[in-house]
Amino acid sequence: MRATIVSGLLASLLTLASAQVREVWRYVYTPPQDDLAAQLERAVRLSDGGLMLLGWVETPLNGRDALAIRLLPCGAEAWVYQVDGAGFDDAFVDAVESADELRLLGQFTDADGYLAAQVHRLTPAGQPVGVFTLSRTPNSHLRPLRFLYFEGELYIAAEATNGNTSQLALYETQWSGYSLLLLANLRPWGVLPGGVDYIQRGIVYGTVASAANSVDAIFRAVDSFPYRYSSASRGVDVPIVAGVALNSSDIDDYYVGIQSEDSRTGEDVVLIRHSSWASAVWGYRYTNQWHDDYAEDLAVDAQGNADLLVKSVLWRGEPYERRTMRLMRFSENGRLLSDAELVEDGRPFLSGLVRINDTGQRYVAVSGAVLPDAPQGVSLLARVDASGRFLWQLPSDIEYDALFAEPDGSLLTAGLLVFEGQGFPTPYYRRLVAVRYAPNGDLDGNGCVDDADLLGVLFAFGRQGADLAADLNGDAIVDDADLLQVLFAFGEGC
């Protein structure tokens, strides 16, 4: 029954081009030539509400230049910072605001072909202040991952590779730059950056080989003992996603989603909640012998409940193989509260993001979905309730790589725009794009803000909760502000 309902909802998507949200602004970065690509590595939301787009852009002469673009809250381009290293594989991968300046973390290939990590300091206006190169062993690679915080101090996590050995390298901030704090015997896969306050401590998660010739998941903070997970099947366990939850003692707990190989059920997802001192609180293994499951993203609400986005591949290798996207919700005590199928079919590159704003509203962005009468693959932006039911949904031409749920009910997104050019064979071009969306008052999604939408707000007036479709400004209550938004938009699209 649920699959039938979802199928009907998806079938109506393409006829709802303006369904319940509108584009406030759209920014597209165009490379110097049409046939040159640009890639987004990370988008960082700034304190003023703007965005930093970080990645690389191809050049006609020497491969890729590191690229950083600052966008104002209105979507206008403030400045572009492009850096050409000695080699061909340059990119900016992270950014932070610190002491009235911006710090950009980048990877640059040296003249001998080895990766090096640099921190570029810029003024808010984009003027370079200085460049610091992180120390590394000669003739080895140092791939920067992210900035992270521990007890209010700023650190840098990187992957140091020498021959066939991969290690976590942590650098601490000093008055003269950054110095190597430690090398840990784990291969880092990702970083949960934490926050500038004392409580929100960042962690690094990765893998380490075991004595049984398997791969175990491992995660640690800057100065804590690592937590190691090895499944009973002695397969491969790789941490993919992580999130943070504030517990009753005001000290962070962490969620880590692990990709776990099982000899009987194939690929499973394991969700573990552990304390900041690396002791496990509980764990849940999501498994099914009929399909393989892959963790895509994780979000945690203010109550400590975790929303886990999972891609499931049914009947792998068979002619009727199918990829779906599911949203699972877990309580803070480890109970599975809901398991909803959001997309019933997708392309091999099906992927997704999930975010929860401060009042508990849930948003998902799915790329590579297959919808009836749609092109080869489209994206889907949606707001869902706690059980995974769509409150609104919008098809899109953007492959989403970043999603930010704003306090006012709007969304900041960034990703890639892929389109066809002229010629044979048909060329495909890639552009960096950022879009802000906001509710438009069209509650029923018929393209017209009319009496039905006004009545929808009036009937819900005064109600509170995170799952109210009539709550347009994201404050978890249907009040005068939502009513005025519908009144000011009344008649649009009719």
Q: What average pLDDT score do residues 212-240 get?
A: 83
CATH class of 441-494: mainly alpha
Q: Of 160-164, 296-300, 373-377, give the lowest mean pLDDT range.
A: 373-377
Coil/strand/helix, residue 457: helix
Q: What is the pLDDT of residue 253?
A: 84
CB distance 108 to 116 below 8 Å = yes
pLDDT higher than 90, residue 339:
yes
pLDDT grade, residue 172 (50/70/90)? very high
Q: State the pLDDT at residue 234.
A: 64
pLDDT (average), residues 424-441: 84
Q: For 248-263, what is the mean pLDDT?
A: 79
For residue 222, the one-letter residue type is: V
Mean pLDDT computed over 196-202: 72
Instruction: Identify the weakest region by mean pLDDT among 151-155, 251-255, 480-484.
Output: 251-255
The confidence score (pLDDT) of residue 198 equals 57
Residue 188 contacts residue 205 (beta carbons within 8 Å): yes
Q: Where are the domains of the chain?
A: 1-30+302-439, 441-494
pLDDT grade for 378, boundaries at 50, 70 and 90: confident
- Decide if pLDDT at 375 tops 70: no
User: Do 312 and 326 meet the contact criterion of CB atoms below 8 Å apart?
Assistant: yes
HSE, CB side, 13 Å, CA atoms: give it for residue 425: 2
Q: Supply the pLDDT for residue 19.
A: 62
What pLDDT is attached to residue 414?
98
More confident residue, 192 or 279: 192
* Local confidence band at 366 (pLDDT 50, 70, 90 cut-offs): very high
pLDDT of 44 above 50: yes
Model confidence at 8: pLDDT above 90: no
The pLDDT value recorded for residue 221 is 83
The reported pLDDT for the residue numbered 15 is: 37
The pLDDT score that the predictor gives to residue 5 is 27
Highest average pLDDT, of 86-95, 137-146, 269-278, comes from: 137-146
Mean pLDDT, range 486-494, rounded to an integer: 85
| Sheet containing 336-343: order of strands | 291-300, 306-314, 322-330, 336-343
Distance CA 475, CA 494 (A): 28
pLDDT at 391 over 60: yes
Element (H, E) at 453: helix 451-460
Q: Please report the pLDDT score of residue 213 as a whole number.
A: 63
pTM reported for the whole predicted model: 0.89
Pick 93 or 12 by higher pLDDT. Answer: 93
In angstroms, rounded to a whole number, what is the distance separating the alpha carbons of residues 226 and 204?
Answer: 10
Q: Specify the range with the lowest mean pLDDT, choosing from 14-23, 292-301, 309-318.
A: 14-23
Beta bridge partners, 23, equal 437
Instruction: Give the mean pLDDT of the chain.
Output: 87
Contacts of 421 (CB under 8 A, 6+ apart): 34, 35, 427, 428, 429
CB-facing half-sphere around the CA of 34: CA atoms within 13 A: 7
**422, exposed or middle or buried, with CB in 10 Å at 0-12, 13-18, 19+?**
exposed
Tokens of 175: 């008055």
